[in-house]
Every structure is written in structure tokens, then in C-alpha cells.
Structure 1
């Protein structure tokens, strides 16, 4: 049996000899294992072990064979995996990888390295020169470059590692690894507002914001805090150095409590940076916009009341702005309404607006033209109204212009006359009334009401007019009517005309007489009882025809009843009569006479006759069996 080292491959591995072939030589073929490892010129060993049933052969010593092995791999070279690399200084350790090519070695490969470059050891990185080892069978190892984050703003720096003096290998390429340390420290001032904004109130809460540097300075850095007229800040400056550069400092912000209305507004805080570090000196730092809640109310606008005599010609109406503001203000005004009439009657006004500059206060005026008329009238007013304010609020937007009258009351006199076609006037004839209203003063009289309501007995259209009577003017009104049929005969008809005005009133009357009634009524015609009729009723009813009187009309009748030569008169208003008491039995005659409203009595009627007799009866009992 054959045994061998790992780099040999003999065949066959067993040889058998028998009594028959004991003297026939057998061949063993030996080859080297192609393992892919560089080993140089080496040797291997094949040993033999003999076993047999023949005790003379079993375990007998057999010489071994030493085999020289010529390696077919070339000697490997050691080099860096890449010639350059770069990373931020805060990226952490960097692996500088060494590789062995084209094949591993059965021996440890060593190589020396040296460190140079612009970066400073112990400040920018941590690595010293030394020896790197690639263990037998491996094809790589790493040199660890520890990069230090120094927080200084500086140029990018370079670390160069160079290989030399390889052991069990040759130097390949690249033998130099250049690693660039990229600086990640940018000089700057970080300003962070608490809650994302800075909100303060005049006379109320404050707020804060934070300031810190973004890199380590080489000298002290001072941040000066500058406020505007709206804000205050404490402290007024902040100082940072190489030890405290990353320690956050707080600025407290307040609002200036002024007396000016500004509504909710903003203020600005700026920062100025000074330092012996040129990277920081003059560097820009963000400002802070401060949101400020105002504690003042908007300015107030109020319009004055004005009283002027109508002879003044103009009236100046003043609108006053009270309270200072940082905004301009304006308001519109209108004039109208009230008891005065615009459009040039009592006054003339043009609607418009008034304005104030920012910070301006006090009164602004506009003019109303006042008309001096010749009317006696009450004092009159016009309303002044404010609307649509900007930059202010209206506290009193209703003003009153009062125009006092300077005219004496007018002196009005009324006279009235009447004329008729006949005297006295006859029914149906025309009646003409003449009314004259005279203004006996130098003052006009507007809105004079003239009224003449025709009385009973006169037919026509009433007079009811409102007129304007100028100074010294006379107005005449003619009222044509007729004497109504209902006018009383012989009566007087009085008619009153009147005027009324704010300055007073007056009246006058005119009288005419109606013709008297001289015609008597007609003769009544008797109906019953007549013709000597016998009546058994001691209270008979007397009837006769109604009598028509064409003038004043029948107002009564006189019934004359005669019995036994004695006449008794009864006055009634109807054409019928029933005595209130029983009449005596016997023969009677009667007549009727009509009387009109003028007292005229007509002729008596023809005589009527009748008899009153009550029958006499004897009542006897009748017995029936």
C-alpha cells in the first residue's frame, strides 16, 4: 500500500504480488497535484506498507520515494486594490485593502508601508507606518485608516500610504494608496426659532430662539443681536470659542409696548458675526422675523354736530381721528336725510371722503353750502353719516347739521265775499265765493293750506289746496256753487274759509239769505170717517191724504173736531190721528188744515161727518131642560 503527501498523486495505490508473479516488477505512476498555490521548488514523499499472510513479508520495511515537485504557479504580487479613494471626515474608518495576485501563497506574505500626506496624524487621522501580513492561503488584508472628525473648517486633506519590502511576494501596482479626507465642516451660524416661529405680544408674552455655530472656530466668534424699533432682545451679543462652539445659546425676544396702533405686525432681528477666524468673520447669519400682537385699539373716527345760521353761507363739518396709527386712515361721508332739503333748496353738499397719513391725527373738515332763503320755517337739520373706514374704526358716525332760520314769520290775512244772482238768493241759483289770502310781509310762506268746506244748503266742490305765497303776494280763489233745494227758506247760510301755516292760522266768513217761503200747502183730502158713517168705537182713527208742499214742506196738520157746537183742535205731524181718550157719543164734523215749515197754513179740507153710538143690549138667562 502507498501513502503520499498532499501534493502527490501516485497510481495505483496498491500492488499485489503472488508466488507466481513475485518476481515481476510493477510500475507506479507519480504526478503532482496542481493546487493553484505558489510554493516554489518543493518535494513530496511516498511511503510503502507491506502486508501478507507470509510472516516473512508481513510488515517488512520497504523504502520510500522522495519526489521533487516543480511549481507551475508564478510568485504572487502584493498591491492596493485601488490607487485613490475619498470620504467625508465623519464617515468613520477607511479600509485600505491589499490584494495578492494572481494566486495565494502557501506562505505568509508581508509588506511594509509608510504614511505621508497633507493630513496631520493624530489630528486628522490615526495610522502609523508598519507591516501588513497576508496569511498563507489568503488573497487580501486591510490596513485600517482611522479618520478623525475634527469639526474645523479646513481644505480637503490627503493621506498617502506607500508599500515596500514585500516578503514571499513581489510588489504589484498600485503600491501607493491616496485617500482624500473631505472636510464636512462648513462655518456658519445656526438660528433656530422655538416652535418654528417667534411670537410675542406688546405688554405680554415673550419668546425665544437658539443660536449655535456649525463648526469649530480657530478663535472667538461674537454674534451681535440687532433689533428694530418693534422688538427687544436679550442678551445683545453671544460669544462662542473652540470649546463652546457647539453649545446652544438662547436669545429672549420681547415686543416694544408703544402707544401706536399697528394691528398685528412683524419686527426684524438681524445678526452680525465678528471673529479672528477669517472663516467666521463677516459670515452671514439668518435673521429672525418676529410676529407681534398689538395691544392698541384702532384709532377712532367721530363726526361733530354743527349749528349755523342760514345766512352763514357755508358750514364746516369736522371729522376727528383720535389715536396714533402706523397706517393711513380714511373714511367716506354722506349728507342727506333730516328735515332740511338738499339740492340747493336748504343746502348743497357733495358726498366724499377724508384721509389721514400714517401717524397723523386730529380733525379734517368738509364744507356744506347753506342756502339763505326768504322762508320763515323751523330750524332744519341734515344728517351726516360716516362709512367704509380704513385704518380706523368709527366711534361716532352720525353727525347733525342744524340750520337755524333767520326769517320773521309771514303775516297772512284771509278775506271772503259772496255774491248771488238774486237777493235774497233763490233755490238753484249760482252762488260765487271769492277767497283772498294775502301775504303782508317780506317773508315767503310755503305750504299754506287753504280750506273752504261748503255748508249745508250749498252744492258744489269744496276748496282744499296747499300753496306757496311769496312775500307781498295775494292769491285769489273763486268757488262757484249753487243754492241747494235743501236750503232753508228765509234762512241765512254762513260759509267759513280758513288758512293754516306753521306761522299761524286765520279765517273769514260770508253770509247770504235764502228767499222766504210764502206759498201755503195744498188742501188735504179726507179719507175716513166721512159721509155720516156711524161708528161704535169711541176712539176712531182719522185718516187723510199726505199733502205735498213744493217749498219748505208740510211739517204739521191741525185737525178740528166739532161736537154739539164745540170745536177742539189737534196738531199732528202725520196724516193720521187716533184720540188718546174716548169721545162722547153723538154727531161730529171734522176738517184738516196743512202747515209748512215757513208757518204758512193751507186751506182747510172739506168737512167730514160721522156719528158715535154704542149699542144697548139686555142679557137674559136661558134655562134649557
Structure 2
């Protein structure tokens, strides 16, 4: 209001911008001045010039996710969540298209929707972890969103990406069934076990098999490249493959021997490279029994005329050290043995050694005499053979003496009437036990 006294004083008019939540840009508007009213006909009805003004916008359309980091899902189906709101009210419905950068690790609902009435009401988005069969470690992925709307401010507008980590529940490993209780035999008896991978590899996995004691048992597979190799790929990693373990024969009485089948892994998959298969415990059943076999055919017989008999001696199993067996005669007046000692080594243990017994002569009519080729207990550092006593051999020495007189000659003697003489001799055929003659 102006008067005749203040008409020349400037009166300020303050214009205050009004806030809204709409991303409507900077908006121009006018301050409208109405026609003046006054008793002074010169001013009455005069319309002052309208004033142009611009209200600067402080709102920006945005699809807001919270939080955008720190989310964790698990391959067991574990979930995590974030919330989404719009930063400004839209003029039309807004559909937010949600996507996972790696659906093999985590998934989200495909859409959420806002309209002008619920634009600032937070909507919860649940992220669900997805299981795989690879030991690939914890995997990072993102959830992204894109607006679809007739409101140009929200059309094709991107949501801030949400970072998520999916915790892995797979571990590199080799499943072996069974790992104990296998039995092989020295007769070539076999046992078997199966092996498969515990998780899918990214590269081929080769398992080289070996035996802790190849003299007792050996593993074998159907692999065409090597009979002691298992190969798994990302396609057949969980298909069990059979390993056959076959007992190996030896000639030693060493009892049932335990040994292990082991496996070393090589692969370009770092999770499996230099991995080790669980040992498979196996026992090889022994089929050897220590012993010394004395071979005799019938009843050995010698004669006083020097006739001989023989027998053989051989070990039943391979010794771990030399084995010596002494041989003596129980009556050297009836027969003598050809060797005082027989020695067997781990080279000649299975070769029979022959002992010859030669009859001894005497002059007595003592009949056929039985005597013994005595085998003494074995001497050896091999505990299996030390002290083992082989069978003795009973021998008969045939007598060649008879009671009587030997007169030579018994015919052809000639004497003469002129007192010519002839002679003959007389002797005993055998040594008498006593002499009573004159």
C-alpha cells in the first residue's frame, strides 16, 4: 500500500519457492500483479507488470537400492535381501526389471512395480543362492535393475547395482569305497574298490595309483593309456570307476601282509592338483608254509659190496637267509653219507639236493642191518627255518657174508704111489663170533 507520503519508498515483495517430490525440472511461473485500486483516478485500475520467476528443481528420479553391498547367499539355498524405493513420485506406473549377473550363483524375482501412490514405500527383494556341483569357491555377482515406464524420467533408468557373494558348499575330494577290509591272495585272488570325485572339476583330473608294496599286490584299471591310471572329466566326475587289486605271489612264508593302495592327483584344476586319494587298506593272504621235504623212494637199500642208495632234500619255501642242514650216519660201519652239510640259499632253495648213502663192508654174518641217515635241525638266521628238523632216513645195508668153509680146489688133485703130494686150502667164509677149536 502506497500513500502520498511513502509513494516513493520501494516496497520489497519476497517470493518463496515451494518444494515438491517430483523430478519436474526447473519450473517457470509468474507473480501476478492485480490492477491497482485507489481514490486517485490516475492510479485506479492501473495494472502493474507481472513478474517472471523460475523455481529450481531439487528432485532427481532414481531407483534406489539399499544396501548395495555386503549381501551373502549360500549354495544351500541361503538368502539375503535388499530394499528398493523410487526417489521421486512417477507420473505413471514404473516396473523395475531385475536381473542377476550370474543366475548360476543367485536369482531374484523378475520384476517389482511402483505407482504414484507407493513410490516411496520400500519393496523387499530376496536374493536366493543357487547350488552347483563345482568346487569353485565363493562367487561374487550383482543384481541390476532397469526401469520401464511411460514416465520418461524412469524409462530405461538403471538401479544402482547390488553386490552379492554366493558361498560355495563344494569341496574338492575323492570318494573311495571301501577304504579298508580288502583281501587279496598270493594265488592271484583279487579285490576291488571304486573311486569318484566329490565335486565337478573345471579340468580333467588324473589319479595315478600305486601300491605301498608291489611284491604283495598291484592296482589296475580299465584305462587304455595306463592300467594304473584313473581319469575323470567334468562330465563323468561323479561316475564311480573300479580299481582291481590283485595279489602277487612270493615263495616266502611271510604270513598275511598288509599294504595300501595310494593315489596322487594331477590336474589343471588347482583345487584338485596335487590332491591325494585316501589310502585303501588291503591284506594279501599268504599261501606258503615253511618246511623241509625229504624225498625217499621206497626203502633205501645199500649193500656190503658198496651198493648205494639216495634221497633228496629241498626247502618248501624261499628262505630270507641261508639254511644249513647237517647229515650224518648213525652207523658208519654199515653206511656213509656223501655230504656232511647241505646249504640252501634264496637262489637254490627249490632245487632238490641229493644225498648218496654208500654201504660199508664187514666180514661178519650179521644179516641185513638197518641204520639211519640223520638230518640235524636246520641252522639259519631265518627265524622260520632256524631249528626246523627234517625227517631222518632209514636205510638197510644188505649182508653179503655166509657161515661155512671155502675149500680150494675141490677137484683135480693128484698124488703118486711114490708118496707124491697135492694140496688144497681151507678158510672160513665169515668171521666167527667165537673160536672153540683145538
TM-score norm. by structure 2 comes to 0.49
> TM-score under structure 1 normalisation?
0.37
Q: 1 or 2 for the larger relative contact order (CA 8 Å, sep ≥6)?
A: 2
Larger radius of gyration: 1
The structure with more strand, counted as a fraction of residues: 1
